[in-house]
Structures are given as C-alpha cells and as structure tokens.
Amino acid sequence: MQAPCDAMLLRIFVGYDDVFDDKPLYDQLVLKAREMQMAGATVMRGVSAYGPASCETGFLLRLSEDLPIIVEIVDTRAKIETFLAAVDDMIESGLVTMQPVEIVRYGRKNAQIAQAARDPGGR
C-alpha cells in the first residue's frame, strides 16, 4: 500500500472471551490478516461496552468478564472484502463496520533512513 491513497478501515468488535478453534478470536483475525498480507492490523481492548450481546449475561457481568475488543484493519476495499469473506465463519457474534479513509502516511517517513537503521554497515 502506498500513501497517499484512498482505503477502507475495517472495525471488528468482539468480546475478549470470543474464540475460534480454541484460540482467542482477535488473535486469529490478526493472524488471518497477516496470512492474507493485509497492510496492517491493530487490536485494542475496551474498558466497558454494551450492546445486544451484553443482554445475554447482564451488563455488570459483561463488564467484569468479557471486555470489548476492537480489531482494526486498513487496506483497499477489494482486500478488505476478500478478508471479510475469509473470516465470515470465524465471527459468530459482534459488530463489523467499514468506512472509507485516506492514507496520508504508511510506513516510515524516509525509506533510506529505515534501511540504514536495519543495516548500519551498509551491506
């Protein structure tokens, strides 16, 4: 992905206790994004939330036991749509949103500086 460009921001809201194949769902989503060579993914933990899923166990129990997790992925619309099709069976409940974003910077400011930092001997 090159900047500047137009892209999509995918947000997947799940619970901390959600799993897929006996592993945390948020980790599985990030691993799938990496496998599919998405531009990048970030996982954030919320401190409280409410929504349809919290009605099942009660608001206070949900706050104390199953904290909200947000997985954010930014890439082109085509790659996001391909990713969503690949993970559809993984997400049993939650909220998935997508919105257009403008990428103004992706990666380091100066690629030559980044290369020099990785290889100080100039090899």
Does the N-terminal peptide bond of residue 4 adopt cis geometry, omega within 30 degrees of 0?
A: yes
This prediction has a pTM of 0.75
Question: Where is pLDDT greater, at 113 or 107?
Answer: 107
Mean pLDDT across 80-100: 95
CA dihedral 42, 44, 50, 56 (to 10 degrees): 80
CATH node for 5-118: 3.30.70.120
Higher pLDDT pick, 118 / 16: 16
- Domain regions of the chain by residue span: 5-118
pLDDT tens readout for residues 36-88: 999 999 999 988 777 665 444 445 544 446 788 999 999 999 999 999 999 99
